[in-house]
Structure 1
């Protein structure tokens, strides 16, 4: 279906399946597999740290980024707020009381940036080395700005809108230089309020 079907995290970060001719099921190519763990439970600090450590151990690359769905950001907030400590020893008068903001705008775990993606599956998180993930762009997206003829000439006639075909093939196509440098934790408990949230169309 190429170029209509874009590559995504589901097929790239996996311990099965061949990508670019490399298959973890083939002798000598086992190290190509991503670290994958089915947690079947609630996200915890120890589970998150295990994902980071075991992904690094498998691929040998430093894990510096975590991808979270909104549902697991919600769970992460539960972890963070139970371990907060506030210094109140100087709050002796009203003028000296400290204002507390319990909202979060940026998330880090052990110095690793956490990126929230509302379109990720709500029961899984990803960890990996950002240097090992690349966006492949054969033709600059700016070619689609002025007129659709450029995309028509490049994409051919497939019954797909030129801009859509262009976005899928040249802008959203990602790849991993080292599949084992990324890991996945699946089967995480999803808060009830997130179970009926429709995916973005």
Structure 2
């Protein structure tokens, strides 16, 4: 089994997040005014946090270190370093750290610097504005760094569960109608169309006999003649 950084306990990862956030803030402050100013917008910051503290995919590992045993040894060594850092780090809550970090850093930053990223850095210390908070699924008045790290950890658990569910083979559900033979459907008879009706031929009648004109002599009865 390959050991991923997601197996590190939550408090160790929060501790590492605190230290990296401080380093990012100092790096941001040191690069103000330079052309190579890193992108410190909230989406980029969130992406960096996920990339740092999320599980490392195997395809993202360099080729020489893709051997499972070498990779496992590297991750175990990194884990022991985190454990040592945690035991050497004061166990203070995240909100105490943010307050102490804000009090230690903000007084040294002149607020009149005409730089658009300055407000973003202050927002990351104090929480998120409403227009960003409404896009997060965490119903909290102020989303602090602790909430953000907790959201990443929770999202990672959800992703891990979804990945595990993808490999679960669902059992076949028995069919209630199994064993019952299907009815045999007989094809309907094909009816041939009847021949078209042809009307009988109409015979014309012969014209009626009409007698011709009668001669008067022919019309006289026999034996009768003229005067004798």
**TM-score scaled to structure 1, two decimals?**
0.24
Kindly indicate whether structure 1 or structure 2 has the higher relative contact order, using CA contacts under 8 Å at least 6 residues apart: 1
- Quick check: which one's helix share is greater? 2
Structure possessing the higher radius of gyration over alpha carbons: 2
**TM-score scaled to structure 2, two decimals?**
0.22
